[in-house]
């Protein structure tokens, strides 16, 4: 069984930065891809960014390009999301996810999810 644990959320002023981490544990953790999604109350979970576990292919939602950067450390089984120039509309619960197959950026294709970490950006 794979467990994903997010950390690094918090309250920040607009224009500020946060770095989210997602640590994965499990005896044979070897995903095809890992990703970050976010969700606000009353809305569907939204794709933010994705990174292949092998190679350097990344994807971003248009709304976060040039402000957020996804990276990984395979030795630590950890994926990161560096969030710069944050805006109030970035306020959400951020979830880490892992998929054992190509995801096509669709939430339902991910096998494992973390519990989420709250990010709040004040104006």
pLDDT in tens, 81-95: 999 999 999 999 999
Q: Give the SS3 label for residue 36.
A: strand
Least confident of 2-6, 24-28, 95-99: 24-28
| pLDDT for position 120 | 98
Q: Token pair 């224009």 is at which residue?
A: 15
pLDDT, tens digit, 9 for 90 and up, residues 44-74: 999 999 999 998 899 999 999 999 999 999 9
Query: 123 is written with which tokens?
Result: 């104006």
The CA distance from 4 to 113, in Å, is 6
């Amino acid at each position: 069984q794979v467990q994903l644990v997010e950390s690094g959320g918090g309250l920040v002023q607009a224009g500020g930065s946060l770095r989210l981490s997602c640590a994965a544990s499990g005896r044979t953790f070897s995903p095809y891809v890992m990703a970050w999604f976010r969700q606000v109350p009353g809305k569907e979970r939204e794709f933010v960014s994705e990174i292949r576990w092998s190679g350097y292919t990344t994807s971003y939602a248009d709304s976060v390009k040039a402000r957020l950067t996804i990276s990984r450390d395979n030795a630590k089984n950890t994926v990161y999301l560096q969030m710069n120039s944050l805006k109030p509309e970035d306020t959400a619960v951020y979830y880490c996810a892992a998929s054992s197959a190509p995801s096509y950026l669709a939430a339902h294709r991910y096998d494992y999810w973390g519990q989420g970490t709250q990010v709040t950006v004040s104006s």
